[in-house]
Chains A and B, each alone.
Chain A
């Protein structure tokens, strides 16, 4: 069964780097939600989320980021998407999220969004 693979590491200046691979849908979105909540509990509100190998996202998956970005910004942080795959970017475009979230094409560029 297609699933979601998540990894997380901490970068300098309190930036949390999350990589998502696979499928972020109504079946798997809670895994992403739990990871972001755990990152927030560690007082890390600067998130880089790499989506290059995320093959699919549904509204349930996108909704995790919609629900989280407000809290990130309230705490001086943000969510930056790194290299979203074309089908994922299409869904962001349809939802109007491309005008709200920041996007980067390299890790350095993404980190620069927080400086």
Chain B
């Protein structure tokens, strides 16, 4: 069975908490444990916060979030119609946190968290329709082995 949720929000950081709630509610029905649920909520929040901050360069705009949970994975799609986004070298699998501290850098940590938490993070642009799309996938954990009494 596939469970789908979708919501459209304004590019306003006050909307982030409601999307976190939506993701959390969906994950309640998944086999992810509470630690992973929290981490996945963080990854989605980071991705969305990035779009809220950068996509429309201060203008108003709409952001669409699609969540899809099936037997094998959670897929998160975030779409906006803002400026073309190219993650470039910001999509890093490693960061030098000591350098961040040395230089007093506060940014650049969100992309790293997304990479750390999710199995796939892909950015695409549909230039014809001026749409940026971010797709993140987290594969479900393998099923718990059945206990002896359950298997009998």
Contacts and interface: CB of A to CB of B under 8 A. Distances in A.
Interface stretch (A9-17, A39-47, A63-71, A103-111): A63-71
A95 B16 CA distance: 21
B105 A66 contact: yes
Contacts of A23: 17
Contacts of B97: 66, 95-97, 100
A18 B35 CA distance: 26
Contacts of B102: 70
Given A27-B13, A27-B17, A90-B35, A59 B101 contact: no
A90 B109 contact: no
B17 A67 contact: no
Contact of B42 (A2, A27, A71, A91): A91
B116 interface: yes
Given A27-B17, A100-B98, A59 B104 contact: no
If over half of B's interface residues share one DSSP class (helix, strand or loop), that class is named, otherwise mixed; here it is helix
A30 B49 CA distance: 14
Interface in A74-115: 86-87, 90-91, 94-97, 100
A87 B41 CA distance: 10
A67 B17 CA distance: 24
Contacts of A31: none
B16 A64 contact: no
B52 A26 contact: yes
Contacts of B107: 63
Contacts of A60: 49, 106, 110
A69 B101 contact: yes
Nearest to A87: B38
Given A58-B45, A70-B102, A90-B39, A63 B16 contact: no
B73 interface: no
Interface string A3-25: 00000000000000000000101
B117 interface: yes
Contacts of A86: 35, 38
14 contacts: A1-B17, A25-B13, A58-B49, A59-B110, A63-B105, A63-B106, A64-B106, A66-B100, A66-B105, A67-B104, A91-B113, A94-B113, A95-B97, A95-B113
